[in-house]
Structure 1
Amino acid sequence: MNPKVDDRVPVLIVGGSLVGLSASLFLGRLGVRHLLVEKHADTSRHPRGRGNNVRTMELYRVAGIETAIREAASVLAPNHGILQAPSLTGEEQEWLFREIDPGGRLGRFSPSSWCLCSQNDLEPVLRRAARELGAEIRFGTELVSFEQDADGVSALLRSRETGEERVVRAEYLVAADGPRSPARTRLGIGQSGKGELFHNVSITFRAKRLAEVVGDRHFIACYLTDPEADGALLPVDNREEWVFHAPWHPERGEPLEAFTDERCARHIRAAVGMPELDVEVTGMAPWHAAERVADRYSEGRVFLAGDSAHEMSPTGAFGSNTGIQDAHNLAWKLAAVLCGWAGPGLLESYGRERRPVARVTGERASARSAEHSHPGYAAVPGVGRQAGVLAVALGYRYRDGAVAGGDPAGPVVPEAFESAGEPGSRAPHQWLLRAGVRLSTLDLYEQAMVLLTGSAGTAWRDAARRAADRLAVPLDAYRIGDGADDDLAPEPGTDFAALHGIAPDGALLVRPDGFVAWRAEHRGDDPEAAVEHALRTVLSL
């Protein structure tokens, strides 16, 4: 590699899709200078990866772009549910589920909600927000090679337009470069799991009369099960733009070239049950569903995120959401280490926390594909309906990582969603009032460690501030109660301490990513020593 260094940055992100752009946004919010490179000339043009779960939307809420995303996704706002039928015109129809959040139950647990926003609409929002925060983003630039040493990573980059090459020196590299990750391959990191599950060809098409048949069945997706023409139909604008996922069998020697426009149009007509439908094919993209997890998530100063770290069946959009949450977990840890208030050992917790989540979530995604009879997936018989989707989205736990006092023997994803403030779990949502302004507890978590205590927790609040000052750790401490001296007030009729699993004189330490780092149910003899020990343990100080 050319020894001359042209640019220096704290973090180099390779990959400018959902995960890479999210990493750029999160790092930018934390004030970490970085460079993102993406080999393609622009963001995705294909409407895919549309399901953003409630946890992802919470992260985007805190990052200040939830409203912009919902505006970009407004055309699909009325769409709910998954429909399954032999055709759109027959009488046999079944809703696998009709509403994402029946009865509005989710509002008790989160200030956000699910959002249907296709990747081609979401990525520009992420890129714009990241650039407004000062991110340097170069599309049409590929990573040629990299080498690392004890102090950093030297990466050779090439412009795909001009061929110009430059060497960038970074302290850390985040490889969000997809399922065939050249970075993972170069590091020699293997994968484990079921491997390839099935293959589809995603076909974008225009059909003006199709909306007449769909009518008021504004589904997220419709699985069409005619064995001679099965596939999945997804709306793009609920009017004339659509996507159809057709099964593809390369394992049987079927070439991609066999999917001509004429064949695709004929398949779509048969699948929806409209032999005379006028179909104009506008685009085509093959994709492969697999269940794989990298054997490790990092090597030295290089970290895998998103599809480079894990592949999942697309049913339920678990893969993209898990990847975005990878980026969020890694971003605050990189910021803490680069800014000097955490030890390098904190970065080792990234893989210990995220890899088990990916493994269990991947298993749930495959099971959901079986439940929904996803076109092209010949699943093992006997897989029943899957419960606990909210547990996967919000209830996953970090059993081994940057947590003090967690339960290492507990499940990574519980059977049912629980929110009780346990160390290693996402901190509960509760509406609070600050000077008459309503905010969620989740809105407090981003820039610093946060200590929350009940109405009898003055000693905790003061002790935490002293301990954090001594360790030079950014920390916000709040006493929550109805008194004049409390920092935040719970909404009437709610009990902060009970919701967070503590007594009024207990305390909770929350990480910048909103996960509970440590908890004391009651006041101890030496609150300051207890908080200092927790901070040292969690932050590898």
Structure 2
Amino acid sequence: MNPTVEDRVPVLVVGGSLVGLSASLFLGRLGVRHLLVEKHANTSHHPRGRGNNVRTMELFRVAGAEAPIREAASTLADNHGILQARSLTGDEQEWLFKEIDPGGGLTRISPSGWCLCSQNDLEPVLVRCARELGGDLRFSTELVSFEQDAQGVTARLRSRETGEESTVRADYLIAADGPRSPVRERLGIGRNGPGDLFHNVSITFRAPGLADIVGDRRFIACYLTNPEADGALLPVDNQKDWVFHAPWHPDRGETLEDFTDERCIDHIRRATGAPDLAVEITGKAPWHAAERVAERYAHGRVFLAGDSAHEMSPTGAFGSNTGIQDAHNLAWKLAAVLDGAADPALLETYEAERLPVARETSARASARSAEHSHPGYSPAPGAAGGRQRGVLTVALGYCYPRGAVLGADPELPVVPDQLRLTGEPGTRAPHMWLRADGQRRSTLDLYEKSFVLLAGSDGDMWRTAAKGAVQRFDVRLDCYLIGTEPDDDLAPEDGTDWAEKHGTTSEGAVLVRPDGFVAWRAEGRVADPEAALREVFEALLCRS
């Protein structure tokens, strides 16, 4: 006998950490009703996963969450750079990099910036924002089992507080349930990659005297390289609370029980070069650095996102950011399919776009760990690959040569060596400042709940074509004319030429997806704009 279904939702999200909560936020912004379940009683209490890159902050900006996130991160707002030192008291010290954005050049390409916000501070903000949008978030609730058929997914849930079980029916399931994902295992999806890289024990401790030793060195992290006591030191409040990542070697028979308070205190003192430092251990949590990527990102109506799809070395903070960007890519596609605008075949482009990004990014993360000599990591000979070109091309320049894009160069590197944000199909659309009704906004602020067609002052034919596309496909599509004429919708700030910025002419147009990636570009005049847009949307929405 089939179990009674107590709940019906379009999307079930399994996992309430950074990626699952971000998925809830993005789905809520798009008006997609959903249920999120998380087996733990609360959000993370351990300070980890603190680096939120510029692309992630752009997504949170558009979703209305950037301001509260920066407020939650205010304590570490002035911390920058990675320091490498034999100890904090010796002379052997080197900044691997001192500024995240030296010279302030990032402001030319983005309205946002990096943000140092630990997971324990970020997750409550995401919970609050998601619930304000109507998200149904249930903690202390675990997925017991699930089955899928051609019409949807039936999942069995259990309250860990009462033991009561219930059944929910969803059109789609997002598995954001971590690196040991039970959902992925249930689907039989394998993973490829080198596997485990190194292991650490994250030790939280209180040491008010350490602030005087650190002084004005406001680092994100300090890699301490004393061969007898190496590790990574991270500030929590720059005053009394700190985190130390100590190498752990289970392959040598070490157990977590070996990390007694006495051993941890001694290790921290020797690593910092402060033998008399007063240290109070407040917590310990093991973590594992690995490089693995799932062979597939989807099976039927179930999709993997975040650590369930990919594991990465923590150096460069690529892992959680890649997962949050997974969720953003998937959210707009689910919304388009659930709205009836797109055929379900659109969801196949999620894997086509995001899996290659994960493969390239995870390899870059491992190479960066080797370059930085991350404590506990002993890469295989030749694995370092030389000095990395920086994280910005990985964080912001990743591309989609194949997927829900038209006219992209199939040979375009998924992660280029140089950052190119010039309006090419498959790349993140360029940022430029605009003004309308006395208000300043970025072009990126336009992209969230609809496709957007940009054209110039001579673009009335594109506006007409956009109206025709809306009527024909019932798709969310906004059209903006950018220029200085009275009938234009938006005026470029400081005389910036929008067409040059986007790689087109004044008679061309650029179509941008809801996730801010260029879907298609007409570089010049088109004989029949309505016919052109019709063909474009038939292909993009898989309705041809």
Q: Hey, what's the Cα distance between the residues in 1 that align with 2:434 and 2:393?
A: 24
For residues 251-276 of structure 1, give each alpha carbon's deviation from its aligned partner in whole angstroms, at most 9, with x where no partner exists.
12111110111111110000000111
Tell me by how many angstroms 1:2 deviates.
Answer: 5.1
1:172 — aligned with what? 172
1:71 paired residue number: 71
Letter in 1 for 2:73: A
Match of 2:394 among 387, 392, 395: 392
Quote the Cα distance in structure 2 between the aligned partners of 1:395 and 1:173.
29
Give the drift of 1:436: 1.7
| CA distance in 2 between partners of 1:466 and 1:145 (Å) | 45
Structure 1 segment 99-110 matched on structure 2, within 5 A: 99-110=99-110
The answer to whether 1:232 aligns with 2:238 is no
Quick check: 1:481–1:488 contact (8 Å CA) kept in 2?
A: yes
> What pairs with 1:383-422 in structure 2 (closer than 5 Å)?
383=384, 384-422=386-424
Q: Any idea what the Cα deviations from partners look like across 1:192-248, whole Å, max 9, x if unmatched?
A: 011110000000000010000000000000000001000000000000000000000
Tell me, in whole angstroms, the C-alpha distance in 1 between the residues paired with 2:20 and 2:229.
Answer: 36
C-alpha separation in 2, matches of 1:3 and 1:108: 56
**In 2, Cα distance between the equivalents of 1:234 and 1:77?**
14
**Shift of the alpha carbon at 1:461?**
1.9
Aligned equivalents of 1:467 and 1:306: distance in 2? Answer: 34
Structure 1 Cα separation of the partners of residues 315 and 476 of structure 2: 40
* Residue 476 (structure 1) aligned to one of 475, 478, 489: 478
Q: Which residue of 1 aligns with 2:132?
A: 132
- 1:534 aligned to 2:536? yes
Corresponding residue to 1:446 among 434, 437, 448: 448
Task: Give the C-alpha shift of residue 472 in structure 1.
Answer: 0.8
1:523 aligns with 2:512: no
- Partners of 1:510 and 1:20 lie apart in 2 by 25
Gaps of at least 5 residues in structure 1 are none
TM norm structure 2:
0.99
- Contact 1:460/1:523 (CA < 8 Å) preserved in 2? no
- Any conservation in 2 of the 1:2–1:167 contact (CA below 8 Å)? no
CA distance in 2, matches of 1:526, 1:124: 50
Instruction: State how far apart, in whole Å, the 1-side matches of 2:18 and 2:207 are.
Output: 29
- Report how far residue 470 of structure 1 moved: 1.4
| Separation in 2, partners of 1:388, 1:84 | 17
More deviation, 53-62/460-469: 460-469
Question: In the alignment, which of 480, 490, 493 is matched to residue 491 of structure 1?
Answer: 493
Equivalent pair of 1:145/1:156 in contact (CA under 8 Å): yes
- Once the two structures are superposed, the pairs formed by residues 106-125 of structure 1 within 5 Å of their partners are 106-125=106-125
* SS of the residue 1:145 aligns to: strand
> Aligned AA for 2:379?
A
Amino acid corresponding to residue 83 of structure 1 in structure 2: L
1:493 Cα deviation after fit: 2.9
Q: How far apart are the structure 2 equivalents of 1:375 and 1:132?
A: 41
**Structure 2 residue 323 is the aligned partner of structure 1 residue 323:** yes
What are the equivalent positions in structure 2 for 1:336-347 lying under 5 Å apart?
Answer: 336-347=336-347
Rounded Cα–Cα distance in structure 1 between residues aligned with 2:22 and 2:287: 22
1:323 is displaced (CA, Å) by 0.2
Give the structure 1 partner of residue 280 of structure 2: 280
Write out per-residue CA displacement over residues 135-160 of structure 1, whole angstroms, 9 at most, x where no aligned residue: 11100000011000000000000011
2:23 counterpart of 1:18: no
Aligned partners of 1:106 and 1:461: how far apart in 2? 32
Identity among equivalent positions (%) equals: 74
Higher alpha-carbon deviation: 198-207 or 486-495: 486-495
Matched residue type, 1:99? E
Q: Deviations over 1:108-141 (max 9, x none)?
A: 0000000000000000000000000001110000
Cα deviation for residue 523 of structure 1 reads 1.5
Q: Hey, what's the Cα distance between the residues in 2 that align with 1:538 and 1:250? A: 49
Match of 1:512 among 486, 494, 514: 514
Among 466, 469, 473, the alignment partner of 1:467 is 469
Which residue matches 2:369? 369
* 8 Å CA contact retained: 1:388, 1:415: no
**Alpha-carbon distance in structure 1 between the residues aligned to 2:498 and 2:463:** 15
Match of 1:294 in 2: 294
Two-structure CA RMSD over aligned residues (Å): 0.8
Q: In the alignment, what sits opposite 1:262? A: 262
Partners of 1:480 and 1:225 lie apart in 2 by 54
CA deviations 1:307-327 (Å, max 9, x no partner) are 000000001110000000000
CA distance in 1: counterparts of 2:457 and 2:226, whole angstroms:
61
Displacement, 1:464?
Answer: 1.7
Distance in 2, Cα, partners of 1:405 & 1:34: 34
SS in 2 for 1:492: helix
Letter in 1 for 2:71: E
3-state SS of 1:151 partner = coil
Distance 2:181 2:483 in 1: 50
CA contact (8 A) 1:194 1:290 kept: yes
Question: 1:469: how far off?
Answer: 1.6
Amino acid at match of 1:176: A
Q: TM-score, normalised to structure 1's length?
A: 0.99
1:163 equivalent in alignment to 2:163: yes
The answer for unaligned runs of 5 or more in structure 2 is none
AA partner of residue 297 (structure 2):
Y
| Aligned mates of 1:485, 1:199 — CA distance in 2 | 60
Residue number in structure 2 paired with 1:350: 350
d(CA) in 2 for partners of 1:332, 1:483: 33
- Kindly indicate whether the alpha-carbon contact (under 8 Å) linking 1:388 and 1:416 is maintained by their aligned counterparts in 2: no
Distance 1:77 1:12 in 2: 35
Q: Helix, strand or coil: the match of 1:219?
A: coil
One-letter amino acid matched to 1:416: Q
1:405 Cα offset (Å): 1.0
Q: Which amino acid is the alignment partner of residue 453 of structure 1?
A: A
Please report how far the alpha carbon of residue 381 of structure 1 lies from its aligned counterpart in structure 2 after TM superposition: 4.2
Work out whether 1:29 is the aligned partner of 2:29.
yes
CA distance in 2 between counterparts of 1:2 and 1:531 reads: 46
- How many equivalent pairs are there? 541
CA offset digits 1:415-445 (Å, max 9, x no partner): 0111110001000000001112110000000
Contact 1:14 1:174 in 2 (8 A): yes
For residues 426-437 of structure 1, the aligned pairs below 5 Å read 426-437=428-439
Give the letter for the 2:57 counterpart: M
Question: 1:387 and 1:119 mapped to 2: Cα distance?
Answer: 27
Cα shift at 1:181:
0.2
CA distance in 2, matches of 1:264, 1:376: 15
